[in-house]
Structure 1
Protein backbone atom coordinates (compact mmCIF):
# COMPACT_ATOMS: atom_id res chain seq x y z
CA UNK A 1 0.00 0.00 0.00
CA UNK A 2 1.43 3.35 -1.04
CA UNK A 3 2.26 5.84 1.69
CA UNK A 4 0.06 8.90 1.86
CA UNK A 5 2.00 12.10 1.31
CA UNK A 6 0.96 15.02 3.44
CA UNK A 7 0.63 18.33 1.60
CA UNK A 8 3.49 20.77 2.12
CA UNK A 9 2.27 23.88 3.94
CA UNK A 10 2.42 27.03 1.84
CA UNK A 11 3.46 30.47 3.07
CA UNK A 12 0.49 32.24 4.60
CA UNK A 13 -1.04 35.39 3.14
CA UNK A 14 -2.21 36.65 6.55
CA UNK A 15 -0.85 39.97 7.73
CA UNK A 16 -0.65 39.05 11.42
CA UNK A 17 0.92 35.66 12.07
CA UNK A 18 2.51 34.45 15.32
CA UNK A 19 6.06 35.43 14.23
CA UNK A 20 4.85 38.88 13.19
CA UNK A 21 3.02 39.36 16.49
CA UNK A 22 6.24 38.47 18.35
CA UNK A 23 8.09 41.03 16.24
CA UNK A 24 5.49 43.71 17.03
CA UNK A 25 5.89 42.88 20.72
CA UNK A 26 9.63 43.56 20.39
CA UNK A 27 8.90 46.98 18.96
CA UNK A 28 6.40 47.68 21.74
CA UNK A 29 9.00 46.61 24.32
CA UNK A 30 11.37 49.46 23.40
CA UNK A 31 9.45 52.14 25.40
CA UNK A 32 9.26 49.71 28.33
CA UNK A 33 13.02 49.21 28.14
CA UNK A 34 13.58 52.97 28.24
CA UNK A 35 11.21 53.54 31.16
CA UNK A 36 12.61 50.74 33.34
CA UNK A 37 16.21 51.77 32.62
CA UNK A 38 15.77 54.98 34.60
CA UNK A 39 13.92 53.41 37.53
CA UNK A 40 15.92 54.10 40.73
CA UNK A 41 15.02 50.88 42.47
CA UNK A 42 16.48 47.41 42.99
CA UNK A 43 14.17 45.90 40.40
CA UNK A 44 14.93 48.43 37.62
CA UNK A 45 18.12 46.78 36.23
CA UNK A 46 16.60 43.30 36.57
CA UNK A 47 13.48 44.17 34.59
CA UNK A 48 15.48 46.08 31.96
CA UNK A 49 17.77 43.10 31.44
CA UNK A 50 14.80 40.71 31.34
CA UNK A 51 13.13 42.81 28.63
CA UNK A 52 16.29 42.85 26.53
CA UNK A 53 16.87 39.09 26.93
CA UNK A 54 13.22 38.38 26.07
CA UNK A 55 13.59 40.49 22.92
CA UNK A 56 16.71 38.53 21.93
CA UNK A 57 14.91 35.21 22.47
CA UNK A 58 11.83 36.25 20.49
CA UNK A 59 14.13 37.47 17.72
CA UNK A 60 15.36 33.89 17.29
CA UNK A 61 11.93 32.38 17.95
CA UNK A 62 9.96 34.37 15.37
CA UNK A 63 12.52 33.53 12.68
CA UNK A 64 12.39 29.85 13.60
CA UNK A 65 8.57 29.77 13.56
CA UNK A 66 8.42 31.66 10.26
CA UNK A 67 10.68 29.06 8.61
CA UNK A 68 9.37 25.94 10.37
CA UNK A 69 5.66 26.69 10.07
CA UNK A 70 5.79 28.62 6.79
CA UNK A 71 4.36 31.69 8.50
CA UNK A 72 6.65 34.26 6.92
CA UNK A 73 5.03 37.38 5.47
CA UNK A 74 6.43 40.38 3.55
CA UNK A 75 5.37 42.63 6.43
CA UNK A 76 7.12 40.39 8.96
CA UNK A 77 10.28 40.29 6.84
CA UNK A 78 10.28 44.08 6.75
CA UNK A 79 9.53 44.59 10.44
CA UNK A 80 11.91 41.99 11.90
CA UNK A 81 15.21 43.81 11.21
CA UNK A 82 13.58 47.12 12.16
CA UNK A 83 12.64 45.71 15.59
CA UNK A 84 16.18 44.41 16.12
CA UNK A 85 17.79 47.72 15.21
CA UNK A 86 15.40 49.70 17.41
CA UNK A 87 16.11 47.53 20.45
CA UNK A 88 19.89 47.55 19.99
CA UNK A 89 20.12 51.26 19.17
CA UNK A 90 17.90 52.21 22.13
CA UNK A 91 20.00 50.07 24.49
CA UNK A 92 23.27 51.55 23.25
CA UNK A 93 22.00 55.12 23.64
CA UNK A 94 20.66 54.39 27.12
CA UNK A 95 23.96 52.90 28.27
CA UNK A 96 25.84 55.92 26.91
CA UNK A 97 23.71 58.23 29.06
CA UNK A 98 24.65 56.36 32.28
CA UNK A 99 28.10 54.81 31.76
CA UNK A 100 29.37 52.40 34.42
CA UNK A 101 32.88 52.07 35.82
CA UNK A 102 34.45 49.30 33.81
CA UNK A 103 37.12 47.83 36.06
CA UNK A 104 40.51 48.10 34.34
CA UNK A 105 39.12 50.72 31.95
CA UNK A 106 38.01 53.07 34.72
CA UNK A 107 35.13 55.46 34.11
CA UNK A 108 35.73 56.86 30.63
CA UNK A 109 32.70 58.76 29.23
CA UNK A 110 33.63 57.78 25.68
CA UNK A 111 34.08 54.07 26.43
CA UNK A 112 30.61 53.02 25.22
CA UNK A 113 30.13 55.94 22.83
CA UNK A 114 32.75 54.72 20.34
CA UNK A 115 31.27 51.22 19.73
CA UNK A 116 27.74 52.66 19.89
CA UNK A 117 28.48 55.06 17.03
CA UNK A 118 30.17 52.28 15.04
CA UNK A 119 27.27 49.84 15.46
CA UNK A 120 24.47 52.35 14.83
CA UNK A 121 26.27 53.86 11.81
CA UNK A 122 26.79 50.40 10.37
CA UNK A 123 23.12 49.48 10.76
CA UNK A 124 21.93 52.71 9.13
CA UNK A 125 24.37 52.25 6.24
CA UNK A 126 23.43 48.60 5.70
CA UNK A 127 19.71 49.44 5.70
CA UNK A 128 20.31 52.02 2.97
CA UNK A 129 22.54 49.63 1.00
CA UNK A 130 19.99 46.79 1.17
CA UNK A 131 17.17 49.11 0.10
CA UNK A 132 19.25 50.26 -2.85
CA UNK A 133 20.24 46.68 -3.76
CA UNK A 134 16.58 45.58 -3.67
CA UNK A 135 15.74 48.28 -6.23
CA UNK A 136 18.48 47.09 -8.60
CA UNK A 137 18.80 43.42 -9.51
CA UNK A 138 18.82 39.97 -7.90
CA UNK A 139 22.63 39.62 -7.92
CA UNK A 140 23.09 42.77 -5.86
CA UNK A 141 20.41 41.63 -3.42
CA UNK A 142 22.15 38.26 -3.02
CA UNK A 143 25.43 40.08 -2.35
CA UNK A 144 23.97 41.74 0.77
CA UNK A 145 22.19 38.65 2.11
CA UNK A 146 22.90 37.92 5.78
CA UNK A 147 26.05 35.83 6.19
CA UNK A 148 27.78 34.03 9.08
CA UNK A 149 29.86 37.11 9.89
CA UNK A 150 26.67 39.10 10.45
CA UNK A 151 25.29 36.34 12.67
CA UNK A 152 28.44 36.33 14.81
CA UNK A 153 28.19 40.11 15.06
CA UNK A 154 24.61 39.87 16.31
CA UNK A 155 25.37 37.10 18.82
CA UNK A 156 28.38 38.96 20.26
CA UNK A 157 26.44 42.21 20.37
CA UNK A 158 23.46 40.74 22.20
CA UNK A 159 25.71 38.96 24.71
CA UNK A 160 27.72 42.12 25.41
CA UNK A 161 24.65 44.30 25.94
CA UNK A 162 23.03 41.69 28.20
CA UNK A 163 26.14 41.54 30.38
CA UNK A 164 26.43 45.33 30.67
CA UNK A 165 22.73 45.72 31.46
CA UNK A 166 22.87 42.97 34.10
CA UNK A 167 25.97 44.53 35.69
CA UNK A 168 23.95 47.63 36.57
CA UNK A 169 22.51 45.60 39.45
CA UNK A 170 24.58 46.72 42.45
CA UNK A 171 23.63 43.60 44.40
CA UNK A 172 25.79 41.45 42.12
CA UNK A 173 29.39 40.75 43.06
CA UNK A 174 32.22 41.63 40.68
CA UNK A 175 30.16 44.04 38.61
CA UNK A 176 33.25 45.98 37.49
CA UNK A 177 34.77 42.83 36.02
CA UNK A 178 31.43 42.01 34.36
CA UNK A 179 31.23 45.46 32.79
CA UNK A 180 34.84 45.21 31.58
CA UNK A 181 34.10 41.85 29.94
CA UNK A 182 30.91 43.24 28.41
CA UNK A 183 32.78 46.27 27.04
CA UNK A 184 35.43 44.04 25.45
CA UNK A 185 32.69 41.97 23.78
CA UNK A 186 30.96 45.16 22.64
CA UNK A 187 34.16 46.38 20.96
CA UNK A 188 34.53 42.98 19.30
CA UNK A 189 30.95 43.20 18.01
CA UNK A 190 31.61 46.76 16.76
CA UNK A 191 34.69 45.51 14.90
CA UNK A 192 32.65 42.65 13.41
CA UNK A 193 29.95 45.15 12.41
CA UNK A 194 32.43 47.38 10.55
CA UNK A 195 34.21 44.39 9.01
CA UNK A 196 30.94 42.84 7.81
CA UNK A 197 30.01 46.17 6.22
CA UNK A 198 33.33 46.13 4.36
CA UNK A 199 32.66 42.55 3.20
CA UNK A 200 29.21 43.51 1.89
CA UNK A 201 30.54 46.58 0.08
CA UNK A 202 33.32 44.51 -1.48
CA UNK A 203 30.77 41.95 -2.75
CA UNK A 204 28.65 44.73 -4.23
CA UNK A 205 31.68 46.26 -5.91
CA UNK A 206 32.58 42.91 -7.50
CA UNK A 207 29.02 42.54 -8.86
CA UNK A 208 29.09 46.07 -10.31
CA UNK A 209 32.43 45.47 -12.05
CA UNK A 210 31.19 42.37 -13.86
Structure 2
Protein backbone atom coordinates (compact mmCIF):
# COMPACT_ATOMS: atom_id res chain seq x y z
CA UNK A 1 0.00 0.00 0.00
CA UNK A 2 3.07 2.26 0.23
CA UNK A 3 2.89 2.76 -3.53
CA UNK A 4 -0.68 4.08 -3.55
CA UNK A 5 -0.97 7.66 -4.82
CA UNK A 6 -2.02 9.08 -1.40
CA UNK A 7 1.05 7.55 0.24
CA UNK A 8 3.31 8.69 -2.59
CA UNK A 9 2.00 12.24 -2.07
CA UNK A 10 2.76 11.97 1.64
CA UNK A 11 6.26 10.62 0.95
CA UNK A 12 6.85 13.43 -1.55
CA UNK A 13 6.29 15.91 1.30
CA UNK A 14 9.08 14.26 3.25
CA UNK A 15 11.34 14.03 0.19
CA UNK A 16 10.97 17.74 -0.58
CA UNK A 17 12.22 18.84 2.86
CA UNK A 18 15.97 18.62 2.08
CA UNK A 19 15.45 20.57 -1.14
CA UNK A 20 13.53 23.35 0.60
CA UNK A 21 16.11 23.49 3.39
CA UNK A 22 18.99 23.61 0.86
CA UNK A 23 17.38 26.55 -0.94
CA UNK A 24 17.70 28.63 2.23
CA UNK A 25 21.48 28.53 1.77
CA UNK A 26 21.31 30.37 -1.57
CA UNK A 27 20.85 34.15 -1.58
CA UNK A 28 18.53 36.02 -3.86
CA UNK A 29 14.91 35.98 -4.90
CA UNK A 30 14.79 32.85 -7.07
CA UNK A 31 15.73 30.39 -4.27
CA UNK A 32 13.16 32.02 -1.97
CA UNK A 33 10.42 31.79 -4.60
CA UNK A 34 11.34 28.20 -5.54
CA UNK A 35 11.35 27.21 -1.84
CA UNK A 36 7.98 28.91 -1.36
CA UNK A 37 6.60 27.13 -4.44
CA UNK A 38 7.83 23.74 -3.25
CA UNK A 39 6.46 24.43 0.22
CA UNK A 40 3.08 25.39 -1.30
CA UNK A 41 3.06 22.23 -3.41
CA UNK A 42 3.82 20.17 -0.30
CA UNK A 43 0.95 21.88 1.54
CA UNK A 44 -1.41 21.08 -1.33
CA UNK A 45 -0.38 17.41 -1.23
CA UNK A 46 -1.31 17.42 2.46
CA UNK A 47 -4.91 18.06 1.51
CA UNK A 48 -4.93 15.76 -1.52
CA UNK A 49 -3.38 12.71 0.12
CA UNK A 50 -6.11 12.47 2.75
CA UNK A 51 -8.88 13.35 0.33
CA UNK A 52 -7.77 10.75 -2.22
CA UNK A 53 -7.21 8.07 0.42
CA UNK A 54 -10.79 8.52 1.66
CA UNK A 55 -12.35 8.94 -1.80
CA UNK A 56 -10.59 5.89 -3.23
CA UNK A 57 -10.94 3.90 0.00
CA UNK A 58 -7.16 3.54 0.19
CA UNK A 59 -6.71 4.62 3.79
CA UNK A 60 -3.85 2.65 5.27
CA UNK A 61 -2.06 2.36 8.58
CA UNK A 62 1.19 3.50 6.98
CA UNK A 63 -0.59 6.55 5.57
CA UNK A 64 -2.13 7.39 8.93
CA UNK A 65 1.33 7.06 10.47
CA UNK A 66 3.25 9.03 7.82
CA UNK A 67 0.83 11.91 7.19
CA UNK A 68 1.18 13.73 10.52
CA UNK A 69 4.92 13.01 10.60
CA UNK A 70 5.37 14.52 7.13
CA UNK A 71 3.46 17.64 8.20
CA UNK A 72 5.44 18.10 11.40
CA UNK A 73 8.81 17.48 9.74
CA UNK A 74 8.06 19.99 6.99
CA UNK A 75 6.83 22.70 9.33
CA UNK A 76 9.62 22.17 11.87
CA UNK A 77 12.37 22.20 9.24
CA UNK A 78 11.10 25.37 7.59
CA UNK A 79 10.48 27.21 10.87
CA UNK A 80 14.00 26.36 12.04
CA UNK A 81 15.45 27.60 8.75
CA UNK A 82 13.37 30.79 8.90
CA UNK A 83 14.75 31.54 12.37
CA UNK A 84 18.32 30.52 11.43
CA UNK A 85 18.27 32.85 8.41
CA UNK A 86 16.59 35.61 10.42
CA UNK A 87 13.49 35.67 8.23
CA UNK A 88 11.84 35.41 11.64
CA UNK A 89 13.53 37.35 14.43
CA UNK A 90 12.80 39.20 17.64
CA UNK A 91 9.39 38.58 19.16
CA UNK A 92 8.23 36.83 15.99
CA UNK A 93 10.31 33.84 17.11
CA UNK A 94 7.80 33.25 19.93
CA UNK A 95 4.92 32.04 17.74
CA UNK A 96 7.35 29.72 15.94
CA UNK A 97 8.39 28.24 19.29
CA UNK A 98 4.74 27.87 20.37
CA UNK A 99 3.93 26.05 17.12
CA UNK A 100 6.91 23.69 17.46
CA UNK A 101 6.19 22.92 21.12
CA UNK A 102 2.54 22.18 20.38
CA UNK A 103 3.55 19.79 17.60
CA UNK A 104 5.82 17.88 19.98
CA UNK A 105 3.12 17.79 22.67
CA UNK A 106 0.41 16.59 20.30
CA UNK A 107 2.74 13.91 18.91
CA UNK A 108 3.44 12.68 22.42
CA UNK A 109 -0.25 12.72 23.33
CA UNK A 110 -1.19 10.79 20.20
CA UNK A 111 1.48 8.20 20.91
CA UNK A 112 0.30 7.82 24.50
CA UNK A 113 -3.36 7.63 23.54
CA UNK A 114 -2.64 5.19 20.72
CA UNK A 115 -1.24 2.84 23.37
CA UNK A 116 -4.64 3.06 25.05
CA UNK A 117 -6.32 2.54 21.68
CA UNK A 118 -7.86 6.01 21.84
CA UNK A 119 -7.96 8.07 18.66
CA UNK A 120 -7.61 11.83 18.62
CA UNK A 121 -9.60 13.29 15.74
CA UNK A 122 -8.41 16.52 14.14
CA UNK A 123 -10.79 19.36 14.95
CA UNK A 124 -12.04 21.89 12.43
CA UNK A 125 -10.19 24.62 14.35
CA UNK A 126 -6.96 22.62 14.08
CA UNK A 127 -7.47 22.46 10.32
CA UNK A 128 -7.88 26.24 10.22
CA UNK A 129 -4.74 26.57 12.31
CA UNK A 130 -2.83 24.44 9.83
CA UNK A 131 -4.10 26.42 6.86
CA UNK A 132 -3.21 29.79 8.37
CA UNK A 133 0.15 28.44 9.55
CA UNK A 134 1.02 27.15 6.07
CA UNK A 135 0.05 30.45 4.42
CA UNK A 136 2.06 32.44 6.95
CA UNK A 137 5.13 30.26 6.50
CA UNK A 138 4.87 30.62 2.72
CA UNK A 139 4.83 34.41 3.04
CA UNK A 140 7.81 34.28 5.40
CA UNK A 141 9.83 32.09 3.03
CA UNK A 142 9.45 34.74 0.31
CA UNK A 143 10.09 37.52 2.84
CA UNK A 144 11.98 40.52 1.48
CA UNK A 145 11.93 39.03 -2.03
CA UNK A 146 8.20 39.63 -2.38
CA UNK A 147 6.63 42.54 -4.27
CA UNK A 148 8.03 45.83 -2.93
CA UNK A 149 4.56 47.33 -2.50
CA UNK A 150 3.45 44.51 -0.20
CA UNK A 151 4.50 44.07 3.43
CA UNK A 152 5.21 40.38 2.81
CA UNK A 153 7.17 39.70 5.99
CA UNK A 154 4.65 41.60 8.11
CA UNK A 155 1.77 39.60 6.59
CA UNK A 156 3.66 36.37 7.32
CA UNK A 157 4.39 37.40 10.91
CA UNK A 158 0.77 38.38 11.57
CA UNK A 159 -0.34 35.04 10.16
CA UNK A 160 2.20 33.25 12.34
CA UNK A 161 0.86 35.01 15.46
CA UNK A 162 -2.71 34.05 14.52
CA UNK A 163 -1.60 30.46 13.92
CA UNK A 164 0.18 30.45 17.28
CA UNK A 165 -2.97 31.68 19.05
CA UNK A 166 -4.99 28.92 17.41
CA UNK A 167 -2.15 26.53 18.27
CA UNK A 168 -2.57 27.34 21.96
CA UNK A 169 -6.33 26.78 21.80
CA UNK A 170 -6.13 23.51 19.86
CA UNK A 171 -3.15 22.33 21.91
CA UNK A 172 -5.15 22.89 25.08
CA UNK A 173 -8.08 20.97 23.58
CA UNK A 174 -5.80 18.01 22.79
CA UNK A 175 -4.17 18.18 26.23
CA UNK A 176 -7.55 18.19 27.99
CA UNK A 177 -8.65 15.16 25.98
CA UNK A 178 -5.40 13.40 26.85
CA UNK A 179 -5.56 14.31 30.54
CA UNK A 180 -8.99 12.68 30.84
CA UNK A 181 -7.36 9.37 29.92
CA UNK A 182 -4.13 9.97 31.84
CA UNK A 183 -5.96 10.75 35.05
CA UNK A 184 -8.52 7.96 34.72
CA UNK A 185 -8.37 5.26 37.40
CA UNK A 186 -5.92 2.46 36.53
CA UNK A 187 -7.53 -0.32 34.55
CA UNK A 188 -10.58 1.76 33.66
CA UNK A 189 -11.35 3.99 30.74
CA UNK A 190 -12.64 7.48 31.18
CA UNK A 191 -15.74 8.70 29.42
Do the two structures share a fold, i.e. TM-score over 0.5?
yes
8 Å CA contact retained: 2:28, 2:145: no
**Aligned counterpart, 1:11:** none
2:131 maps to 155
Relative to 1, partners in 2 of residues 1:189 and 1:199: Cα closer, same or farther, differing over 3 Å? same
Higher helix share: 2
Q: TM-score, normalised by structure 2?
A: 0.89
- Aligned to 1:112, the other structure's residue is in SS state helix
Matched, 1:88 2:75: yes
Q: What displacement does 1:81 show?
A: 0.6
- Contact residue 23 and residue 80 of structure 1 kept, 8 A: yes
In the aligned structure 1, how far is the partner of 2:29 from the partner of 2:132? Answer: 27
1:206 to partner: Cα distance: 4.2
Does 1:120 find its partner at 2:100? yes
CA contact (8 A) 2:36 2:141 kept: yes
Q: 1:76 aligned to 2:63?
A: yes
Closer, same or farther: CA 195–180 of 1 in aligned 2, 3 Å: same
Mapped pair 1:169 → 2:156: no
1:126-183 deviation per Cα after TM superposition (whole angstroms, max 9, x unaligned)? 0010110111143xx2xx311111111101101111111123416x2135x2211210
Deviations 1:45-74 (A, max 9, x none): 111111100000111111111010111111
Specify the alignment match of 1:204 in structure 2: 178
In the alignment, structure 2 segments of 5+ residues that lack a partner are 185-189
Task: Name the structure 1 match of 2:112.
Answer: 132
Q: Which runs of 5+ in 1 are unaligned?
A: 1-13, 101-107
Distance in 1 (CA, whole Å) between partners of 2:178 and 2:109 is: 9
Report if aligned partners of 2:109, 2:178 keep a CA contact under 8 Å in 1: no
Q: Which protein has the larger Cα radius of gyration, Structure 1 or Structure 2? A: 1
Q: Secondary structure of 1:173's partner? A: coil
TM, length-normalised to structure 1: 0.81
1:118 touches 1:194 (CA, 8 Å); kept in 2?
A: yes
Counterpart pick for 1:184 among 158, 161, 169 = 158
Q: How far did 1:111 drift? A: 2.9
Query: 1:105 matched to which residue of 2?
Result: none
Runs of 4 or more, structure 1, over 3 Å off, are 204-210
